Structures are given as structure tokens and as C-alpha cells.
Amino acid sequence: MATHELLADAHAAMEAMRWDDAEAACRRILRSDPKNGDALALCGIVAARQGDDAAAVDLLSKAIKLLPRRWDLYFNVAIVLRRLNRLDDAELRLRKAVMLNPASGEAYHQLGLVLVGKGAYDESIRQFERAVECLPNRGDIHAALAESLHEQQRIDEAASRYERALAMDDTLASAWFGLGHIRHSAGENERAVECFCRCVALDDEMLRGWFGLGCAELARNDNVAAAAAFRRCLAIEPEYAEAHQNLAQSLFKLGAVDAALAHFGMALSQAGEGHEGHRLKELALRSIAVAIPGSSSADHAAVRDARAAWGSMQEASTVALHGRTRGAGQRLRIGYVSAFFGRDNWMKPVWGLVNRHDRSRFHVYLFHDGAFYQPPREGDAEPALPTAYRPGGDDVVCDLTGMDNDAAAALISEHDIDILVDLNGYSRMDRLAVFARRPAPVVAAWFNMFATTGVPWFDYLIGDRHVIRADEEPNYTERVVRAAGSYLTFSVDYPVPDVQPPPCVERGYVTFGCFASQYKVTDEVLEAWAEILRRCPTARLMLKNADLGVASHRQFFRDKLSALGVAAERIVLSGPERHSDFLEAYREVDVALDTFPYNGGTTTTEAIWQGVPVVAFDGDRWASRTSATILREAELADWVADNLAGYMDLAISWGDAARSAARLGDMRASMRDRLRGATICDTVGFARSMEGLYERMWADFLAAPKRP
């Protein structure tokens, strides 16, 4: 058979994907004509199709020597070289291909992909743009160009290219991913979720697509959907540390605290080395330090050790103290640090103290991050931001917003603070490192801590006799001091709704309620509430928090309670509202149920101020005694049970409207007067108690031997 006939047979076999027949035809030619370039080229292509890349490169290279003007040979050998990750060689062949055939859009496309592999994104953009000029209707090339633009942070151009690519071909999973990433980074999380959903629908094994979807769902606070996406990530890659970290965040926000801690631990153990590994380890330790007080399986030592582990990763450089000498009769300078001064409802105990400080003995400094009261300037009629804060004559307000911790510590030190008090706790962990820099001679933690800090930067931790017991002090890294009464003594110095009669009077059934954050509502809490409802067959349960504005979260709770035998019609789920309307919703509740082991604090004070008694019990740690300290000092000790069984019995005893309506009505009508006369609202007495603690701290500092 003639050579041209064998070549024709080889081409036909290749078109039919009969690779063995194609190779056989070429081999017959080469036996009689070893330097037949066409046969060598066809053999090389067949070898490449059959996965024999080394043979393919050898055969195609021989063909190029014989047919040096054939651009397609350079192109084909470059494809194989790229597959072998011989990117420099592939780039040389592709540049020769486009020189020989400047109209080959696919050659420009492949050259762009090789350059991407080498990290040369600027040059890849130029090659993809040439490819688009030659092949303007190829969606995949537009998508490749978009990815390079995206890498170079040319975000608007990248988004436009992704959209053009998808308009041409909406099956491009990578383009949906890229567009979703841009939308997510811009805070357009609804649109991002749509993109990521299209991405994973097209490629169910696309790890980064599922991860992106989970991140976007986290950002829009749909923790049920986020958890599902991260679980899919881990089904694909079980050792994906960041997916474990993010799944744990979702689970924690849903109240699955122990499961969250397990995944935080896996993120910690699977984090790699280098900068990124260090970042992830620090994030996992930070998350564990926040979550662990809410774990029923964690004891005091576990909380201390978890927080110490996080603290060991923080820098603790010391700033230079200015060394003010305090003369006889000179006021102590007390500095308070918080990112939450703008939240009057949360800061009720803080303002109760600060507003009643004796300014003749104490000079008050407030160091804040974010929105806060600003003193009126000359010509201003009102403060820039209304607040429950009542400033003293020479109080000093300093803004730390935007400062790093070194600058914040230096600013605090410049004011010669004597005693610096943290009010953030683990709600603003990035500011805890300010205290590691020791910007004041005495450093204390008070409000919003709920457990030991676990770090050596704090000299004192302020609690009370209800929340910290003497035998627990060895598990605290600070010296424990106790304020008289409750450490959460408060006053309501801002407008709130009037107290309303209990709804059971008209409804004929009792409504239990809880307005705590969703992360506090654990499986153990739901099991207890379900038992209460089973034993109070006419009662209802109302849950209200910001997270219940998400439909999947509401369904999550319905499913959980349904599995525990509670019918959906007995549950009322309500989402976020303005704070005044949030408080107004207490008119719908007869008796509030506390969460555990992480109690309410603000929710407990708000409930009783709106006339609603709270059922709680005395737990095994500070976080689970927060409501107990408030209720006991509010003269509501009868609402604090000894244990969980007593908690359920106490709630059940109030679950019959016929027996409870009159008593609840009387209690509700007199609640605010009762509170005003109780130590829980004696903020003047509390201020004197705290000032006594501060003076003892300062005296101890002066008496202590100083380092040379």
C-alpha cells in the first residue's frame, strides 16, 4: 500500500479513535521511511492520546526537525510538555507556534495557560486577549482571561469577563466559582451563594466551589447551609484544615459546642507549616478559647489551659510606662477599654459603675473602638451620639479605632493610667494583646469575661461570691477579687417599654420564652425544654434572637424539637428587630428559661426589667452562674434551682396558667419596684465596692517590691 494511502488510513483511524490501528499504519510507513515527518507526527499524537507522554515528546520533536514550518507540531508537543510540567519548554514551543501562525487563537490560549502555571499573570493576560481576538465566542478563553485578571486584582474587569464567559457557556464551573468569589469579597453574599451553587451543581467534586459556598453562607449567617457545604468539603478532602475550622464556626453558632470544639481541634492538628499554617493554628486556638466555657464537658482546668494555649501565641512586648508619681490625695486614674461602649443595653453594668464613680477620688478614662459618645464641641447643641453614659467633668475619652495593639498600648501609657480595666473579654480577642504590653502598672479584667483569662497579662479578675468559689481559684491565672453583691449590678438609664401584664391571663396557657443568642441553645438545653413542654401539655415556647431571622435556622430548631416530641404549633420562632421592639416582645412571654452551661447575662437583666421572671440553676462554672448572681441579688433567689432537675421542676411548677396567672401578674406589676430596692440595681453601692477594690489593688502595687 502506498504511503499516502497508509497516511489516509491512519487519519481515518484517529478520527474514529482507533488508536492501535492508527499507530499500526504509521509504523508500517516508518519501517520503510524512518524520516517520514507526517508519520512521526501522527505517531506522536497517538502516543499522547494513549498517555505515553515521553514517547509523544520524542516522536513530535523528531517530526519538527523534519517539518520545521509546521506550527501544529510545536503546538501539539507543547500540550504534552505542559502536561509533564515542563513549562519553560512548553512556552518556547508555543511561542514558535504563534510566530508561524499568528491567527491560531488556541495557541495563544495554551500559551496563556502555560504562563499562568509559571505565575506570569500579566503576560498571560496579553496572550488570552490575543486568543479572544481570534476566537471571540469561546467562553472558556474569556473565563481564563478573567481568572488572570482576578489574580492581578483587576476585579471589575475580571467580573465583566466572567459574566461574558458565562453568557457564552453557562456550564463553566470555574467561571461560576470566580464570579462567586468576587461577589463574596464585595459583600454581595446572596449573589455569591447563587454563583457557588451553580458551580457545585456543575462539578460536585469541586472542593474550592464547596468551600466558597460555605464561606458565603457563613457570611450571610446561614449556618445550617454553611455547615452542609463544609461537610461536603470534608467528604472530598477529610484533612482540609480550614474546612474543619469553618465547619466548627457554623456548628458553634448553632449551639453544637462540643462538635464545634472537635472540629476546631482537627483544624489545629491538620494546619500546615509556614505563615498560613501559623495563622490557622492561632485562629483555631482563638476559637477554642472563646467556645470552651460553653462546653458542658469542659472543666475549669480545660478552660484555663485552652486560653493559655492561645495566649502563648501572642506577642507580649512591654511598652514604656511614663511613671507618674501619685501624690497624697491625688486621684487614681482608672482606664476602661471596650469596643462596645456604643451598646447601651449590653453595657448597663458598665454605665452603672462609670456614671456613679466618685470623681473626687477617681479620674475616669474611656478607651474605645468604634462608635461612642463624643463630647459636644463649641456650638454643638447635642452629643454626636446619644448614650446612657453620663460624663464627669473631666473624664477623658480616647479613640483606639484603627490603631494596632502597639499604638493603642502606647496611647494608654501616655495617659499615665494607674489601673487599666478590660471590658471586652473574649468578645474582642484582638484587643486582649494590648494588655500583654502592660500599658499600666495594674491590669484587671471585669465585665464580659465569664471565666479565667488564662493568660499572665492580668493581675486581677473581678467577680463576686456567686460566680467564683474559693476552691476554684487555683484554676484562675489572675488574683480573684470579689465585688459586693453581683458583679453585674446594673441600672437602666435609657428608654425601654413599659411592663405589660402576663399573656397567660388572657390566653389561658403559659408561654415560656428565651431570647438568648442561638449559640447558647445547645442540644442539652433543647432536651430540657422539651421535657418541660411534655410535662406542661398546654404550654408554648417562644424563642427569639437575631439568628432566627434565617429560615434554615428556624427549620433547624423545629426539626430538633420535633425529634424531641414537641409539635410545631407549640413553638414560636422570631427573628431580629430594633432593640426597643425586641424588649417589647417580652409582653408575649410569661416565664423565661435560661440557657446552660452558658447563661444569659444581658438577656436575664432585660427579662426581669420587663417583668418576666427567669428560671435558672446554679451551675458548675462562672458562665453557668451568671443568671444566679443576677437573680439572687434581685431578690429572686426562689427562681434559682440547685441543679438541672430542679430547674425543670421549677419551670413545670409555673406551667399551668390557672395556678400561675395571678401570681405572675402580681410579680410582674411589682418587678421594677422590687429591682430598684434590691442590691442588683444599687449602682451607687456597687461603685463604692469597686472603688474599694481599686484602692486595695493600688495599695498592694505600691507595697510590692519593685524590679530594679
pTM of the model: 0.88
Spatial separation of the C-alpha atoms in residues 74 and 589, rounded to whole Å: 78
Work out the average pLDDT over 342-366.
Answer: 95
Q: CATH code at 612?
A: 3.40.50.2000
SS3 of residue 500 by DSSP: coil
Residues 599 and 653 placed together within one structural domain of the fold: yes
| Distances in whole angstroms, Cα of residue 83 to Cα of each of 54, 252, 522 | 11, 43, 51
Q: CATH code at 346?
A: 3.40.50.11380
Residues 514 and 396 placed together within one structural domain of the fold: no
Q: With contact defined as beta carbons under 8 Å apart, do 518 and 485 qualify? A: no
In tens, the pLDDT along 489-532 reads: 999 988 999 999 999 999 999 999 999 999 999 999 999 999 99
Residue 364 lies in a domain: yes
How many domains in the chain?
2
Residues 464 and 567 placed together within one structural domain of the fold: no
In tens, the pLDDT along 190-225 reads: 999 999 999 999 999 999 999 999 999 999 999 999
Residue 530 lies in a domain: yes
Residues 437 and 340 placed together within one structural domain of the fold: yes
Residue 270 lies in a domain: no
Residue 190 lies in a domain: no
Residues 425 and 510 placed together within one structural domain of the fold: no
Does residue 674 have a pLDDT over 90? yes
Report how far Cα 45 is from the mean position of its chain's Cα atoms.
51
pLDDT at 705: 82
Lowest-confidence pick of 57-61, 175-179, 242-246, 540-544: 57-61
The residue with greater pLDDT, 651 or 327, is 651
Scanning 292-390, the segments in alpha helix (DSSP H) are 300-311, 348-354
Residue 396 lies in a domain: yes
- 508 burial type by CB count under 10 A (0-12 exposed, 13-18 middle, 19+ buried): exposed
Spatial separation of the C-alpha atoms in residues 335 and 445, rounded to whole Å: 11
Residues 351 and 415 placed together within one structural domain of the fold: yes
Residues 513 and 626 placed together within one structural domain of the fold: yes
In tens, the pLDDT along 280-299 reads: 999 999 999 999 999 999 99
Does residue 384 have a pLDDT over 60? no
- 236 burial type by CB count under 10 A (0-12 exposed, 13-18 middle, 19+ buried): middle
Residue 183 lies in a domain: no
Is the bond leading into 597 cis (omega within 30 degrees of zero)? yes
Work out the average pLDDT over 640-651.
Answer: 98
Residues 450 and 536 placed together within one structural domain of the fold: no
Spatial separation of the C-alpha atoms in residues 156 and 142, rounded to whole Å: 14
Residues 413 and 548 placed together within one structural domain of the fold: no
Under the banding of pLDDT at 50, 70 and 90, the label for residue 47 is confident
Residue 625 lies in a domain: yes
In tens, the pLDDT along 696-708 reads: 999 999 998 875 5
Q: What are phi and psi of 332, to 5 degrees?
A: -75, 140
Lowest-confidence pick of 299-313, 325-339, 440-454: 325-339
Q: What is the DSSP string of 583-618?
A: HHGGGG-SEEE--SSS--SHHHHHHHHTT--EEEE-
Does residue 626 have a pLDDT over 60? yes
Lowest-confidence pick of 142-156, 311-325, 573-587: 311-325
Residues 529 and 667 placed together within one structural domain of the fold: yes
The residue with greater pLDDT, 370 or 647, is 647
Spatial separation of the C-alpha atoms in residues 612 and 633, rounded to whole Å: 16
Q: In what order do the strands lie in the sheet with 540-544?
A: 571-574, 540-544, 511-514, 591-593, 614-617, 640-641
Residues 517 and 657 placed together within one structural domain of the fold: yes
Enclosing domain of residue 366: 332-375+384-482
Residue 432 lies in a domain: yes
Residues 581 and 453 placed together within one structural domain of the fold: no
